[in-house]
Amino acid sequence: MVTSVNGASLAALLAQESALANRTSTSPSQTDPLIDPGQSQSQDPAAVFTGSSDASLSAILGVQDSLNRAASISDVGISAGKTISDLLSLVREKAVAAQSASSSPDKTALDADYQKLLQTIDQLAKSASFQGVTPLSGGSGGDLQFKTDATGEATAGLTPQDFTVGGPTIGLAGTNLLGSPSDLAKLLGQVDAAGGALSTQLSQMSAQSSQIQAHLSVVGQLQSALAGQGSTDLNADSARLQALQVQQMLAGQTQSVANQAPQALLSLFR
């Protein structure tokens, strides 16, 4: 009996095993015949953003985590700051009411409300926190830095504020509504100054928050691009494996036909 050995089936199996083991897209070092060898190909999106060809999806996700933490801290601070601003408006109302109060008991009642409002402002400034960071308590010495690229060299900062009653922004610690009309007029000026300073600081916080959101937008697009690229590579691998399976099937059929042909020839001599 004559036996025909077809190597196509073995080659297909080896190719399939190799594709399963590697599961990588075409290497950047391979040259496209349609591209001039002297012309540089387009860079990886991660390399464009970070300035490093070593950037990876995991590194970009690390940047995204850092910026998300910064955004959360900023959101907590701005939200609490706006609440403090609303409370400061109530403080002003109490000071204005005390100016027109006709009796000492009325002033005393207004001062009790005034003190409660100041206490609430102080508690809010000290308790507003995210993952241990209190952006309004005045406890941090310098700007909080968060990385904005995979190398960690570029950062975005958040400036901690001090919105406590005794801090430089509010500055109303130890005040009351029990003084003379001139004392109350002076206090009202302090409250107005505190409101203006608070508004300025909140504007700065909003600007820094916008900067962080802009970084997040870029990093989010980059992350989506890298994730999409990975998905495209998997689809390409799947298509190549299907092609190899078809080649394997055809190789098996060819081997069967090749083995049957000698048998048919020998039957003529029987």
Residue 33 to residue 128: CA distance in whole angstroms: 60
Instruction: For 163-185, write each residue's pLDDT tens digit.
Output: 999 999 999 999 999 999 999 99
Q: Where are the domains of the chain?
A: 57-224
Kindly tell me the burial class for residue 62, based on how many C-beta atoms sit within 10 Å of its own C-beta (0-12, 13-18, 19 or more): middle
Residue 117 to residue 162: CA distance in whole angstroms: 17
More confident residue, 254 or 36: 254
Per-residue pLDDT at 132 exceeds 70? yes
Residue 57 to residue 36: CA distance in whole angstroms: 29
β-pairing verdict for 144-147 and 155-158: antiparallel
Task: Quickly tell me which residue has 């850092």 as its tokens.
Answer: 66
Given this model, what pLDDT does residue 223 score?
A: 76
Residue range 242-262: mean pLDDT, rounded: 59
Per-residue pLDDT at 159 exceeds 60? yes
Per-residue pLDDT at 6 exceeds 90? no
List C-alpha distances in Å: 98 to 3, 171, 189: 111, 19, 14
Residue 72 to residue 63: CA distance in whole angstroms: 14
Average pLDDT of the residues of the chain: 76
Residue 6 to residue 259: CA distance in whole angstroms: 10
Taking the CB of residue 104, how many other CB atoms lie within 10 A of it? 9
Residue 35 to residue 46: CA distance in whole angstroms: 22
Architecture of the domain defined by 57-224: Up-down Bundle (1.20)
Instruction: For 230-242, write each residue's pLDDT tens digit.
Output: 544 555 556 666 6
Residue range 159-164: mean pLDDT, rounded: 95
Given this model, what pLDDT does residue 24 score?
A: 41
Per-residue pLDDT band at 43 (split at 50, 70, 90): very low
Per-residue pLDDT at 270 exceeds 60? no
Given this model, what pLDDT does residue 49 score?
A: 46
Q: Do 118 and 91 contact (CB within 8 A), yes or no? A: yes
247 CB contacts (<8 Å, ≥6 apart)?
A: 8, 12, 15
Instruction: Identify any residues that bridge with 146 across adjacent strands, giving them in sequence order.
Output: 156
Per-residue pLDDT band at 218 (split at 50, 70, 90): confident
Kindly tell me the burial class for residue 98, based on how many C-beta atoms sit within 10 Å of its own C-beta (0-12, 13-18, 19 or more): buried
Instruction: For 49-106, write each residue's pLDDT tens digit.
Output: 444 434 477 888 888 899 999 999 999 999 999 999 999 999 999 999 999 998 999 9
pTM given for the model? 0.65
Residue range 183-201: mean pLDDT, rounded: 97
171 CB contacts (<8 Å, ≥6 apart)?
A: 165, 190, 193, 194
* Amino acid letter, residue 189: G
Per-residue pLDDT at 251 exceeds 90? no
Instruction: Identify any residues that bridge with 155 across adjacent strands, giving them in sequence order.
Output: 147
